[in-house]
A = this chain, B = another copy of it.
């Protein structure tokens, strides 16, 4: 294999000059650059990026920390994040934290040690104290430290849209259903409920809220719901994510509740990529591709300029009508 010395000799320049050309240092004269690039091509020289990283004390790796790549929302997000990183000559390190704080913290240690260029984090845990100032980070959907930039969909507007779509579809007794999380982290998902409630109050329409503890089996939460008198009259449900919506519909069958005839249902996320599986949910669709690309672009700006101000990107959502309203 050819070395950087071979390239320098072939081009008639010093090793430092070859290195500057490879690292795109603007101080090299166009003529010299051309000579070096030609030598690299003719000798089929492959620069060793591990050695380059050592020199630059940086790397072209970006870590994506998410709960699990098996969830279709996260895998779609990861797909577009990888695509946008690739367009910008970065590579993606994938970390599934499975929501376990210990694994997540361990990953942060590894990332700090490896000196990745940056981190995109989707986390449900309180990892603020582990986020090193030196590593650029962008959060999706969660607020981490006060100064950390984040990208999210407009969850509050999503809640309002869902309320209005239920009413438009004929619901007179709308309700919200979601998980109640014990985490102290300020969650964007809370805003879905907030938007729903505010819109109900604004329109003076009575509403209900049913919350399922996220650490107990959903059996209990659902039994409470189906057996409670106050929910018997509910004819429209905004459910905080698509999987929970599908689970409600599945369980409703045994209570002889028909969707959408008896109860209209709207989910959140838009995880279904085709309509061959049913119920094809009416849902608030998150702009996943846009969230992914903007997160990457924001991170790259932070990598290039560490002093960039905090930014919050709240992207518009839309209602996608399926079979359940």
Point out the residue from B46, B68, B79 that lies within 8 Å of A79, measured CB to CB: B68
Tell whether, in the assembled complex, residue A249 and residue B276 are in contact, meaning their CB atoms are under 8 Å apart: yes
Tell whether, in the assembled complex, residue B94 and residue A78 are in contact, meaning their CB atoms are under 8 Å apart: yes
Tell whether, in the assembled complex, residue B250 and residue A115 are in contact, meaning their CB atoms are under 8 Å apart: no
Name which of A24-32, A106-114, A208-216 contacts chain B: A106-114
Tell whether, in the assembled complex, residue B70 and residue A76 are in contact, meaning their CB atoms are under 8 Å apart: yes
Is A233 in contact with chain B by the CB < 8 A criterion?
no
Q: Mark A54-80, 1 if CB is under 8 A from B, else 0.
A: 100101010010001110100110110
Q: Mark A209-231, 1 if CB is under 8 A from B, else 0.
A: 00000000000000000000000
How far is A92 from B94 in the complex, measured between Cα atoms in Å?
6
Q: Who on chain B is nearest to A98 by CB? A: B83
- How far apart are A240's CB and chain B's nearest CB, in angstroms? 15
Q: Please list the 9 inter-chain residue pairs (A to B) with the smallest Cβ-Cβ separation, ordered nearest first.
A: A54-B54, A246-B276, A75-B75, A277-B277, A250-B276, A94-B94, A70-B79, A49-B114, A50-B53
Q: Who on chain B is nearest to A83 by CB? A: B96
Is A260 in contact with chain B by the CB < 8 A criterion?
no
Would you mind naming 17 contact pairs between A and B with Cβ atoms under 8 Å apart? A49-B113, A49-B114, A50-B53, A50-B54, A69-B75, A69-B82, A70-B75, A70-B76, A78-B94, A82-B96, A91-B110, A243-B274, A246-B277, A249-B276, A250-B276, A277-B277, A278-B278
How far is A39 from B140 in the complex, measured between Cα atoms in Å?
38
Contacts of A114 in B (CB 8 A): 49-50, 91
Is A254 in contact with chain B by the CB < 8 A criterion?
no
Is A183 in contact with chain B by the CB < 8 A criterion?
no
How far is A46 from B112 in the complex, measured between Cα atoms in Å?
8
Contacts of A50 in B (CB 8 A): 50, 53-54, 57, 59, 114-115
Tell whether, in the assembled complex, residue B54 and residue A115 are in contact, meaning their CB atoms are under 8 Å apart: no
Range of interface residues on chain A? 35 or more
Is A247 in contact with chain B by the CB < 8 A criterion?
yes
- How far apart are A182's CB and chain B's nearest CB, in angstroms? 24
Tell whether, in the assembled complex, residue A47 and residue B92 are in contact, meaning their CB atoms are under 8 Å apart: no
- How far apart are A235's CB and chain B's nearest CB, in angstroms? 21
Tell whether, in the assembled complex, residue B93 and residue A91 are in contact, meaning their CB atoms are under 8 Å apart: yes
How far is A276 from B51 in the complex, measured between Cα atoms in Å?
51
Known contacts A50-B57, A61-B61, A82-B95; 12 further A-B pairs (Cβ under 8 A): A46-B112, A49-B114, A50-B59, A54-B54, A61-B93, A78-B94, A82-B94, A92-B93, A92-B95, A94-B94, A243-B274, A247-B276
Is A48 in contact with chain B by the CB < 8 A criterion?
yes
Tell whether, in the assembled complex, residue B70 and residue A69 are in contact, meaning their CB atoms are under 8 Å apart: no
Tell whether, in the assembled complex, residue B46 and residue A113 are in contact, meaning their CB atoms are under 8 Å apart: yes
